[in-house]
Chains A and B, each alone.
Chain A
């Protein structure tokens, strides 16, 4: 087990290296530059100013020199400065925004798991009932509706109908006022959770139905165990392994969705920061934020792998 964890942890930097390199090259080869974005309007643009900007930030050097510098500083915890004004440290911006993104992400995953597992279990236990059909319809709808569109509806329709919107009138951080903060964050989290909860519900239902007809469940029932005990101790627990995998993977999807949700709901998180960096072609900012997203995903995947051993003692690394 320890050896497995060590091996996985050794792989993390290699994965991050590959991710950062691919990202850097993608940003490097695209047309335009931060220098252009920062140096004026099209009509008033001065090519000399672009040159000056590139010289000032070392953007006129070969790609390997730029990437090498960035990498060397990054391993020391310095992700550089934003190329766009006010040219403040990327690491500081990430630390400022990360808690909000993690909060939305975690809340989404928790809500998704609660709703998804509840619906999935109900649907499996009451299979082929009206409740099952209703819940399956809701799940299909949840998967089908794009969450950015749902988010817009959640904000706009109440505003048109009742002159009220869940869009926060003033942002409050969790540390300042947890309740007010949750009242703001719950909306993007619920919007994002709907799609992932629907996926979870369908998987839980399928897994549970598979386990329902397995020999050991039949044996459990034959022993005279109560149905509740059969469902929770045998069926549910054994159907959890694929569900945990899915929830882990969903965390990655949620991180992607967070970008849109943060923009639409005005959450000052890492997603909206990334988008600003992409639009300004600010490669230190984009590299920094996406590497943090990637790191989070890699660590969550590792945590999921370790969780398997808790859920199923037969699994050993």
Chain B
């Protein structure tokens, strides 16, 4: 396969780092100087030809001038280099002050991702980061990859890396780290999403610095998945010697092996720029590891000599009001999303930097397929909602309609607001007619909208939706809000064909990010093998024939887009999938979301690249630095 035929090589647009820019500029400047000098020589030659009687003194003077110029240029370059080094040094140091809502649920990168990402991102090496809004891969533990055929992906590991105990990071370690995930998943079903490796047959260490993935089917998202922090490299020796036994895993060939986890992150398990020095009920602290490997060349967000910041201090602050107080008092460097209604409290505070970003939030109204098996019933529900009024009421700073995949994944989202408006159309008369014509296996006398109690905005939204549905359809609506655990348990109760609710509300549509994988953002909410199965009775085995048939169609479309590795062709398939979902009012309905979101940072934090908040890898940005360090 030729280089330019490689899908991932085409997709991946290597970013231009500041260092590369300087080097490139230097080369360009030197080249230009050489060209100009060459031109000068020609001129001189011409002059020489025109004036053969030029004196030796003039020649000597010219030579002396040239020497002076060269010396001056050298001095200037040295001064520039010294200034650059000084500027670089000035960025080094300081402690980044972060917060999180609670204690971690263990630190093993392959298991739970609850309140532990700051430790994983600081103490471990991932293959690379992926910035979906820029479509940029920035190399970390890998230096490259190649899709040699549709089912084989070859990785090149960065040479010279080692774990904190001095063990080398090699292909054995990387293949072990990746291969361990599926075993952990089989044993304990961690939060790691299985979709990232379900298509993989095995990870093979082909030579010391090369790992090959063998797949059973093509998957366009594989490289994006590998940027996730659960693909962090772990030291096999430490995992085996100091890990905790999670169980005995049986391979497809019947062989068995013990699988360990490293929830306490023993010394030597990671290879990242920092080492954990404290982890208790008050938070965590990680400090610089002096032997961290070099990133040469340093991609976007990385620094050749390692991160500028010396340490990360992460405090546990369960209450969001307390977080705000600490941030306003200047005790925290990152606040994260700001409720637009709270913006005035942040205005005029010297150390607060608020940036406006596109919102990637999600708000859903899922439908019980056991009751709303007839497409007309689902259509009636959706036509009973006045979307303009919802936007005007809820999103005073600006709102927008939302398609089944996030518009933060710009490469794949081709549905315009105008096109979306053809489905998001309020028509109470038609809604009532559709409702009357719809077939119901289980009569629906009352429509219960069911949500979680945690976010007051959600309850306001749900009350608004309930009023609109009742007004349009003339059917009584009730709302119920419970704690998140109870909500999730009742949402996923599949013991009967119908739920004890009609519409399931979740997500408020404020700020949000994306992994860059269409499945995550947000096709899984419609997938008959994902939320469709677990939450909405929309799945291929449904006892309602029309739901089962629709589910088969959708699964086929989802599989097709996932296997399509040409970006343009995949974008078309994804557009078709979205249109099909919207045409069929299948399973779930994305409600209007905020068009903007606001994020707060301490103004001493530099090069944090706020748009990185739109992905999950912002903390891996080594190039951020503290002004007062």
Contacts and interface: CB of A to CB of B under 8 A. Distances in A.
Interface of A: 30-33, 36-50, 52-53, 84-86, 96-97, 152, 155-156, 158-160, 163-165, 167, 169-171, 263-266, 268, 272-273, 275-276, 279-281
Interface stretch (B53-61, B232-240, B267-275, B316-324): B316-324
A50 B313 CA distance: 35
B316 A152 contact: no
Given A43-B531, A266-B315, A272-B318, A281 B485 contact: yes
Nearest to A280: B485
A39 B322 contact: no
Contacts of A48: 189
B217 interface: no
Residue with the greatest number of chain B CB neighbours at <10 A, chosen from A37, A40, A276: A40
B5 interface: no
Given A85-B112, A167-B322, 12 more contacts: A30-B486, A37-B488, A42-B534, A44-B194, A49-B188, A52-B187, A165-B331, A169-B326, A169-B331, A264-B321, A266-B319, A276-B102
B103 A279 contact: no
18 contacts: A37-B488, A39-B189, A42-B492, A43-B531, A44-B194, A45-B534, A53-B189, A86-B264, A158-B325, A158-B329, A163-B351, A167-B317, A167-B322, A167-B325, A171-B282, A272-B281, A272-B318, A273-B281
B488 A96 contact: no
Interface string B190-205: 1101110000000000
A36 B111 contact: no
A36 B188 CA distance: 12
B329 A165 contact: yes
A63 B327 CA distance: 46
B489 A45 contact: no
Contacts of A85: 105-106, 111-112, 114, 263
A159 B489 contact: no
A279 B485 contact: yes
Contacts of B316: 266, 268
Contacts of B102: 276
Given A86-B263, A279-B484, A163 B328 contact: yes
Residue with the greatest number of chain A CB neighbours at <10 A, chosen from B187, B316, B485: B485
Nearest to A260: B319
Contacts of A50: 189
B529 to A, nearest CB: 9
A43 B325 contact: no
B530 A265 contact: no
A144 B227 CA distance: 53
Nearest to A263: B318
A165 B112 contact: no
Contacts of B488: 32, 36-37, 42
A42 to B, nearest CB: 6
B535 interface: yes
A265 B483 contact: no
A159 B324 contact: yes
Given A36-B489, A42-B492, A165 B328 contact: yes
A155 B485 contact: no
A264 B322 contact: yes
Interface in B327-357: 327-331, 345, 349-351
Contact of B325 (A47, A49, A97, A155): A155
A239 B347 CA distance: 53
A163 B330 contact: yes
B485 A36 contact: yes
Residue with the greatest number of chain B CB neighbours at <10 A, chosen from A31, A97, A264: A31
Contacts of A171: 282, 315
B326 A165 contact: yes
Contacts of B483: 279
Interface in B93-120: 102-106, 111-112, 114
Contacts of B502: none
Contact of A42 (B188, B281, B326, B531): B531
Given A32-B485, A279-B484, A42 B324 contact: no
A156 B321 contact: yes
A275 B454 CA distance: 14
Nearest to B193: A44
B20 to A, nearest CB: 38
B530 A43 contact: yes
A29 to B, nearest CB: 12
Contacts of A276: 102-103
B195 A159 contact: no
Contact of A44 (B103, B494, B524): B524
B280 A268 contact: yes
A266 B317 contact: yes
Contacts of B345: 160
A234 B330 CA distance: 53
Contact of B486 (A31, A167, A272): A31
Given A53-B188, A279-B483, A44 B530 contact: yes
A163 B524 CA distance: 43
Contacts of A279: 483-485
B195 A44 contact: yes
Interface string B489-533: 111111000000000000000000000000000001101001100
Contacts of B531: 42-43
Contacts of B524: 43-44
